[in-house]
Structures are given as C-alpha cells and as structure tokens.
Amino acid sequence: MIDVGSNTARCVAFEASASGSVRAFYEAKESPRLGLDLGPDGRLAPEAIDRGVAAVEQFDRTVRSLGLSRTIAVATSAVRDAPNGSEFVRRVARATGIDLRIISGAEEARYAYLGVAGAWELGHDLVSDLGGGSLQLAEVRAGQLRNSVSVPLGVLRLSQRFFEHDPPKRREIDELRGHARETLASVLEAFGGTGYRVFSVGGTVRSLARAAIELRDYPVERVHGYPLWDHDLEALGELLGEMPAAKRRAVPGIGADRADVVVAGIVVLQELVRATGAGRLVVAGTGIREGLALEAIGAKLPAPAEELAERSAAAAAESFAFRIDHGRAVADAALGLYDVFSSKFEWGRSEGLALRVAAWMHDAGIAIDLWRHAHHSAYLIQNYPIWGLDQREILLASMSARLHEGGEAPSAWKKAYLPIIRPADVETARRLGAILEVAELVSAARPRFSLGGGGKTLTVAFSSPTDTSLPPHWEEKARKSMEREFEVEVRFRAG
C-alpha cells in the first residue's frame, strides 16, 4: 500500500487473515513534501515532483524485495489539487510501472472512515483525517458513513500561508485560528450534528499523541486509542509554539518531518475539539491505508466490537498457532459464569468484552513458553492489534489472562496503569481471571451456572460426562477459586 500525501509518503505492507482483518507488518516513510513551494496556480514544483518520484521509486524497490502479491497506490490532496498532478502520475508510472490513483476528497474521507471502522465499533461519530494539504471529515450515524467533506486545512498548506516567522508570532497563530474556526463552523453546521465522539487520523495527531505520552509518562506507549484531551493540546501548543522548528524536532514524538508544521496542526485540532464540544480526540492508529486494505479484502464493515475483536483474535491464532476453537469453548463457559455475577458487581458490556478476549487468547502465550504462558498471553493481548477494544478494555483482558491460572495480582498494577484503569479494575480483573480459570477447567463438560440461596450458592450443572472430559482435581480447584473470589458455596451436579 503506497500513499503519497502533501507532506509525507508511506509504504505499508499488510497481511490479510482469513477472519477478515489486516495487520501491518512493514512500514517505510519518506517526506517528499509535494505540497511545498506550490506555484501561484497550485502547480507542483519541479523539485517536489522529483522528490515524489524518488520516494515512490524507493517504495517500488521495497515492494519487490518483500515479494508482495498486490500493490495499491494512491495520491491525495497536493496531487489532486495541482493542475500538473497528472504529470506527476505519468512520471511515477514511467519510472516504476506503478499506477498511482488520484483519489477525491470524498474518497479519502471514506477510506479514513473504513480504517477507523475496522478498529472501532462506530455509532454517532466524527472521523477526522488531518494531512499536509487538507482535512477530511466524515460524519457517522448508526455506524454508517452519512456525510463527508474535504477542506483545505492541511498542516503544510496552512503553515506556508499563515506563518512567516519561526516560531510563529501570536498574531499569525490567531489569524490561523480564526480561519480554522470559521471553516469548521460552516462544515459542522452543514452536518447538523452534535455530541460526536471524534476519532482522529493522520501523522500529525499521532506525533502529538506520542509527545503527550512521553510528557505525561503515560503507562501505554501505543498511540492507538490514546485520548488526546483539550488540555493536552493546550499544553503542547504552549510548549511547541514558543520553540523554533530546530528545537521542536528534538521533542520526543515530533521528529524532523513534523517540526515545522505541527503548530498549525495543534491549532486545527484545538478548533475541532472546541467546535464539536467533544473535549478530546480519540487517536486512531488506523487510517486510509487500512481502509484501502480492508476494502481490497472485502471486509464486512461496520461491525460490532465483539466481531472486530474476534476477527483480531482469530488472526492472532493464525500468526501464533494457538487453538482458537479451545478459546471459543472457554469463552462460552466464561460468559455463562459471568452472567451469573455481572449484576452483583455492576459489570456491563465493557467487562464482558474484555473477558471474551481474555478467553479467546488465554493460551496464546504457549507459542512463546508453555510454563509461563499466562504472562506471555497477557503481553500479546496488550501488544497485538486487537480491534474493537479501548485501552481500558485491553488492560482488563490482559490482566484477566495473566491471572487465569491463579496467583496474586501484582501490587504495582493499580499505580502502573493509572489513569487508564479505574480504582476497582484490578479487583475486577482478578475476578474475571477466576471466572476464566473455572471456565477452562470445566468447559469440556458444557457447564451451566445458576446462583441461589440468596446469592450464596453457585450450582454448576453439566451436559456432558465429567469423569472422562475434565482434568484431575478440577472440582477442588474450581470450588477454591469461586469461594475465594465470590464467597459462594459451590455445588456440582450432573445434567
């Protein structure tokens, strides 16, 4: 997948799973800056065309070395808007044989929507894709793409138009802010919606998320799912807005290719948060490249979070060769036991989703080491791309899988994972781990669970024989775990 934007160009290699998900396994980036030094009529500069062709030539060599079966290549705002954009496309074709497709603003917004829909269950949302030349906004209602627009609020375009000084003067930032505010107000008025969650895509917002993670000493380093709050943007604006570009590039997460345009990006994102009243942006690690890849494999989107998560777990099983069929059987038993206790602890869909993932992947770590597989399963859940879950749910799933063979929760968890988890989440993970432990012990006998005696007696009935299907000492282990975590008397009976 090759994506040539106004500021950067990227080459991403994906592997597709039979379950209908994609996973990036290689990425390269160049900064040809096609949108730099445009002519009066928006024409691409000859030097920019040369840089762009050289970048695609480098990507072509990479694609050939990886032996990929198919290459999809697109160009966005700078090439789309330039009168000589077709000349650039012809130069690329002559040099590499790659057919670079110029996609419209509406297509770009749609692919960003698909990329986010492949990672999140969408409802009433706004997907924003901030690039070098333009900002795409996609309005989502009931999970479906309803409206989209592309506006000329790209970070490279705005930096060239509004900033004459380095660092920019206050009046320059204020002029940009007024322009962005007016543009976004007209777009959102046309959409006619309020109360959006705002998902944000693109290199600039990912760079800002990485910087915020470093500055806040945030416990999870992955930017996907990071909540970039309005106060994060304000703090980054104050810090970076007073630095010259040469110093900004030394700030962790920013880098040389964003240093001179990131301030414009902060202003646009601040105004987007203000205009929507969302308070924060949810940073998406997926975008138009994932959207293109998902379309290419015919992935069914949008989809519920549970389905997105199961696709991811099935893809992980393909990669690490653990038994997803066993994980599904354990999940069925675990959810039956979960339903018995959920109202008592006020657990909802979020905790249930975490338990599903923990059950599907509780044995994933066997691919690394049988004897410490629970630890490795927890690591894989945190670090393999499991779509459909937010950062709290991923941590709950990871902690539950870690504890599914018993043992104490590390005392450091409560402090280490703040502010992602809630104060009671370690106790919740411990109880979910106990449910998972019992479910794994008895799943082969197809258990049914019921709670009686004023909530003090748990009855476990079986639909299949227990004398041949269950492991040694299963009854003692299951009773001990349930009594410890749920303070119930456990009774077993045949179906």
With beta carbons less than 8 A apart as the criterion, state whether 285 and 119 touch. yes
Question: What 8-state DSSP symbol labels residue 350?
Answer: H
Residue 363 has a pLDDT of 96
- For residue 394, the SS3 value is helix
> 């994609």: which residue's tokens?
22
C-alpha pair distances (Å), 260 with each of 163, 210, 215: 10, 17, 20
With beta carbons less than 8 A apart as the criterion, state whether 333 and 435 touch. no
DSSP string, 143-191: TEEEEEEEES--HHHHHHHH--SSSPPHHHHHHHHHHHHHHHHHHHHHH
Residue 143 has a pLDDT of 97
Name the amino acid, one letter, at 431.
Answer: R
Q: Which two tokens stand for residue 356?
A: 């599903």
With beta carbons less than 8 A apart as the criterion, state whether 467 and 487 touch. no
Q: Tell which residue, 422, 296, 406, 414, has the closest CA to residue 347.
A: 422
Residue 495 has a pLDDT of 58
> Rounded to an integer, what distance in angstroms lies between the CA atom of residue 290 and that of residue 1?
9
Residue 410 has a pLDDT of 87
Residue 469 has a pLDDT of 80
Q: Which two tokens stand for residue 355?
A: 């338990």
- For residue 352, the SS3 value is helix
> 């945190």: which residue's tokens?
382
Which residues in 130-145 are b (16+ Cβ under 10 Å) and which e? bbbbbbbbbbbeebeb
> 């506006």: which residue's tokens?
151
With beta carbons less than 8 A apart as the criterion, state whether 380 and 362 touch. no
Catalogue the E-assigned strands of 152-290: 197-201, 227-229, 280-283
Q: Is the peptide bond before 471 cis (omega within 30 degrees of 0)?
A: no
Residue 1 has a pLDDT of 94
Q: What is the pTM of this model?
A: 0.95
Domains and CATH numbers, the chain: 2-102 (3.30.420.40), 105-291 (3.30.420.150), 305-494 (1.10.3210.10)
Q: Which two tokens stand for residue 324?
A: 């997803």
**Long-range contacts formed by 341-350: CB under 8 A, 24+ apart:** 341/431, 341/435, 341/451, 341/486, 344/455, 345/428, 345/431, 347/428, 350/390, 350/392, 350/393, 350/396
Q: Which residues of the chain have pLDDT under 50?
A: none
Residue 422 has a pLDDT of 85
The DSSP element (H or E) to which 106 belongs, if any, is helix 105-117
Residue 468 has a pLDDT of 77
Other C-beta atoms lying within 10 Å of the C-beta of residue 370: 10
DSSP string, 453-492: TTTTEEEEEESS-STTTS-TTHHHHHHHHHHHHH--EEEE
Residue 408 has a pLDDT of 84
Count CA atoms closer than 13 A to 422's CA, side-chain side.
9
> Rounded to an integer, what distance in angstroms lies between the CA atom of residue 16 and that of residue 293?
8
The DSSP element (H or E) to which 13 belongs, if any, is strand 9-16
Q: Give me the phi and psi of 85, to 5 degrees please.
A: -60, -35
Residue 493 has a pLDDT of 86
Q: Give me the phi and psi of 389, to 5 degrees please.
A: -110, 145
Residue 73 has a pLDDT of 97
Q: What is the pLDDT of residues 200-238, one digit of tens each?
A: 999 999 999 999 999 988 999 999 999 999 999 999 999
Question: What 8-state DSSP symbol labels residue 345?
Answer: T
